Structure 1
Amino acid sequence: MVYETIPVTIKGEETNARLYTYFWSNSKELYDGRKRPCVLICPGGGYAMTSDREAEGLAVRFMEMGYHAAVLRYSIVPDDVFPDAFIQAAACMKMLRERAEEWFIDPDRILIQGSSAGGHLAAMVSTYWHIPELANILDTTSEMIRPNGQILSYPVITAGTFRNEGSFKNLLGAQAEESMEEACSLELNVSEYTPKTFIWHTYEDQSVPVQNSLLYVNALVKAGVPVEFHLFPKGEHGLGTATELSLSSDGRGVEAQCGQWMDLAKAWIDHNI
């Protein structure tokens, strides 16, 4: 396995964000240069932390599926403010595509995944990857940033009625005016540029109401964006893999039915991306 910690840089300046790679090593005995899909993982944490339970366990499972994975530990409050984490995530998409040959990544199968507030970050990249201002900031073309697909786990989506108050308070702070909230309310900004989407949520989620996913799925369908959506009847917020890989120290994090979501995501990637 190629495990590296890589500083995320913007215009040559190092940020406090770090990318942790979980890449298959190239082996002439077994693989001989095989190009694999790669999943960029954005853990949740309300933009106040990046959750360990939504990071390495997912990376290990994606590796077990035969994919490369990378975990982004992006900037959080109070160190940075919007749009720092968004630009960092886009910079990582650029890095994965630029170094695809070196890392044996299939450049046409690079996905972004996010859980909770990390789902909001992932969906932000999927929503705005094509804007010229972002490409200018990163000294690249929009196509170098574009996700080929997105995987969202119980994502924060809306700044409206069903918002997760803490996430938007941390994300926007003093910038929380109506126009900025509309830009960050992603169900309002789905377009033909939004990539194919896999999304799951639980009915019992009390932290990020399921309406976040329902609003987003409806917007995707309206825009003609292919989407696969799974709503599980049981399960609290923040399940990660929903298996023992995401078991917390206080015994939370395992929900047997939800635990199948990564197998469902694998089938979706293999047949759609």
Structure 2
Amino acid sequence: MQKQELVYQETKFTLDTYFLDPIADYETQIERPLVIICPGGAFKFQSDREAQPIALKFNAEGMHAVVLHYQLIDGQHSVYPLALQELATTLNWLKTQQAKHINLKKVILIGFSAGSHVVADFNSIMLDPEQREKIYPAELEVEPAANILGYPVIDMTLGWPREEEWAMKISPDLYYWQAQEHLTKNGKPTFIWQTVTDATVPVMNAIIYAQKMDMLGIPYEMHLFGSGSHGLSLATYVTQNPGQEDNLNIYDAEWWKLCVNWLKLQEVLPKF
């Protein structure tokens, strides 16, 4: 893993990059898909459980991976619109990294919990030129091919955050609160998973985004598991916080296989 510092206007932010090395045996190098990971953490921090372990899983499937340390709540900035501008800057930066053999037509965004809100808002706002130009006047040179949302925050009026004061710190502009409200037919195919027993982010968040995608005719796949807590990450021992039994769920861990199958369906990964 290597750190990469980028700048949007005068704001610096960091990427953790997990680029696969070229295989010396190959006469022609493969241009590999890439995933940009937005971990959760309630916009207070970014969970390591949803960063490196996820990046390495994608590496094992033959994909490059980048963890985006997007804007959090601090004393100077709210999350939005800066997090969206940072994600757009990251996508455009990929175009300068072609020595890494990236397939720019197969860039995927994945978010967990609060990080899913960043991805969903990007899919809704930043892929619609009329909405995007209001906050990011530069051209978006690389567009994601698809999205993955894990136990997502979609609408900040649907139970998370519980305090309106915290939502106002995330964004004093209510425009950014409800990702589904700004989704257009420009949105990309999306894989969504969550548990119906999630006590932190109500499952209606996932449902309402899938419903809007369905209305617009945007391809999606959604899996709602019958049990499980919030913040599962891989739901295996790999991402278990020691002693936290609710981090483990053999049934919910199937989301990873389902997600890989979906990426094959989207022709991001080869079928064989």
> Which of residues 107, 110, 114 in structure 1 aligns to 2:107?
110
Q: Which residue of 2 aligns with 1:228?
A: 221
Between the aligned partners of 1:21 and 1:171, the Cα distance in structure 2 is 30
> C-alpha distance in 2, partners of 1:50/1:167?
20
Q: What residue ranges of structure 1 are gaps of 5+ in the alignment? A: none
Partner of 2:160: 164
Match of 1:126 among 123, 126, 137: 123
Deviations 1:11-46 (A, max 9, x none): 4x451x210011110122158410111010000011
The structure 1 segments of at least 4 consecutive aligned residues displaced by more than 4 Å after TM superposition are: 132-139, 166-171
Task: Compute the displacement of 1:137 (Å).
Answer: 6.3
Moved more, 101-110 or 84-93: 84-93
Matched residue type, 2:6: V
Is contact 1:100-1:106 (8 Å) kept? no
1:201·1:210 contact (CA, 8 Å) conserved in 2?
yes
Q: Provide the aligned C-alpha RMSD in A.
A: 2.2
2-structure distance, mates of 1:171, 1:62: 32
SS at structure 2 position matched to 1:26: coil
* 1:152 aligned partner: 149
Q: Does 1:51 align with 2:47?
A: yes
Q: Indicate the residue corresponding to 1:84 in structure 2.
A: 82
Structure 2 match to 1:271: 265
Q: TM-score, normalised by structure 2?
A: 0.89
Tell me, in whole angstroms, the C-alpha distance in 1 between the residues paired with 2:124 and 2:164.
17
Q: 1:237–1:167: structure 2 CA closer, same or farther, 3 Å change rule? A: farther
Q: Given residue 264 of structure 2, which amino acid in structure 1 is its aligned partner?
A: D
CA distance in 1, matches of 2:189, 2:159: 24
Distance 1:248 1:167, change over 3 A: farther
Provide the residue aligned with 2:29 in structure 1: 33
Aligned 8 A contact 2:84 2:126 in 1: no
State the aligned residue count: 263
Q: Deviations over 1:77-121 (max 9, x none)?
A: 11421222221122112212x135222111100011000000001
Report what 2:251 is aligned to: 257
Cα gap change, 1:173/1:238 in structure 2, threshold over 3 Å: closer, same or farther? same
8 Å CA contact 1:123, 1:186 repeated in 2: yes
* Residues in 1 aligned to 2:39 and 2:15: alpha-carbon distance in whole angstroms: 12
User: Contact 1:190–1:219 at 8 Å: present in 2 too?
Assistant: yes
| Residues 75 and 23 (structure 1), Cα distance of their counterparts in 2 relative to 1, 3 Å cut | same
2:151 and 2:125 map into 1 onto residues whose CA distance is: 20
* Aligned 8 A contact 1:48 1:170 in 2: no
Is 2:232 the partner of 1:239?
A: yes
Aligned-pair CA distance for 1:202: 0.3
Moved more, 23-32 or 184-193: 23-32
Matched letter for residue 229 of structure 1: M
Residue 165 of structure 1 aligns to a residue whose secondary structure is coil
Q: How does 1:166-205 map to 2 (within 5 A)?
A: 169-170=165-166, 172-173=168-169, 176=172, 180-205=173-198
Among 184, 192, 204, the alignment partner of 1:211 is: 204
Match of 2:67?
71
Residue 197 of structure 2 aligns with an amino acid whose one-letter code is E
Structure 1 counterpart SS, 2:93: helix
- Structure 2 unaligned spans of 5+: none
Q: Distance in 2 between matches of 1:260 and 1:167?
A: 33
- CA displacement at 1:170 relative to structure 2: 4.2
* Larger mean Cα displacement after TM superposition, 20-29 or 247-256: 247-256
Deviations 1:152-176 (A, max 9, x none): 001000133x230159744532954
Deviation, structure 1 residue 181 = 2.5
Question: Which residue identity is paired with 1:238?
Answer: G
For residues 248 and 26 of structure 1, the distance between their equivalents in structure 2, rounded to whole angstroms, comes to 34
